Amino acid sequence: MKRLLHFILCLLFLVPVYTLQAQQQEIKVTKLAPNVWVHTSYSTYQGALVPSHGLVVATKEGAVLVDTGWGNEPTEQLLAWVKTNLKQPVKVCLPTHWHDDKIGGMKAVQQQGIPVVTSALTAILATENGKGTPDVTFATDTTFTIGGQQFEVYFPGGGHTADNVVVYLPQQKILFGGCLVKDLQTTTLGNIADADLKSWPFAIRNLQQRYPKAKTVVPSHGPWGDKALLSHTLELLQKQ
């Protein structure tokens, strides 16, 4: 009887813990600027819960996703958020490189008939690494407009990965740097298993030269800020 009572008490204490973990991993969407939101999903890396950011951009013709959620379930939550809150279809999803935090929800996106568009190199690396196959590819830097909103996709050079691209919204002066850019709080470069450490500093300098008017810089992990994130990333690279 005492053992049974002890077991029940243990369960009662465990339930709030598991609930908290589930709540922590719910996707979050944060307003960044008119018609622009940051979507944040989570995964465990080296024992810690790590956030990963992407963008949701509303246009007159529909929404655009920059990066999927970190996996299919968070991406389904994100698509549901768009449907409920923006009440418009998602026109396209644009992952910025082939890792799971950027493209891990591709299946969920494609199941809803939404085209996934990546660079040609990202498509190759995604397929080779079993992440799935994007629907459309572009070979070089590209600029496109949907519903009056302009998107500039730029490959500054290898860095966090060989294929990492950034997305710039000129109307809002928002630069989504993805995993190429580190937040001001971090003291490391994070996961560098697939990094090109030799090219990474040049890629950051290319961003500094190309987007001097950027007001907001959004990294994949950690708080967003201004162009100081680019300088901070360079400082981290110089310590390697």
Residue 196 is a catalytic residue: no
Pairing of strands 48-58, 63-66: antiparallel
* Cβ atoms of residues 192 and 9 within 8 Å: no
Closest residue by Cα to residue 164 from 177, 147, 174: 177
Residue with the two structure tokens 């190309």 = 210
Q: CA 86 → CA 53, 62, 79, 122, distances in Å?
A: 19, 9, 10, 29
Task: Write down the catalytic residue from 39, 53, 160, 232.
Answer: 160
Longest dimension (CA), the chain: 72
The residue annotated as part of the active site, out of 67, 101, 163, 183, is 101
Amino acid occupying residue 92? V
Which strand (E) or helix (H) includes residue 219? strand 216-219
* The one catalytic residue among 35, 53, 67, 99: 99
72, 100, 135, 191: the catalytic one is 191
Active site residue 191: yes
- How many residues belong to the chain? 240
Contact 96, 66 (CB under 8 A): yes
**Rounded CA separation 73/129 (Å):** 20
Q: Is 53 a catalytic residue?
A: no
Known catalytic residue: 97? Answer: yes
DSSP state of 185: T
In sequence order, the 6+-apart residues with CB closer than 8 A to the CB of 47 are: none
Active-site pick, 53, 97, 221, 232: 97
Catalytic residues: 97, 99, 101, 160, 191
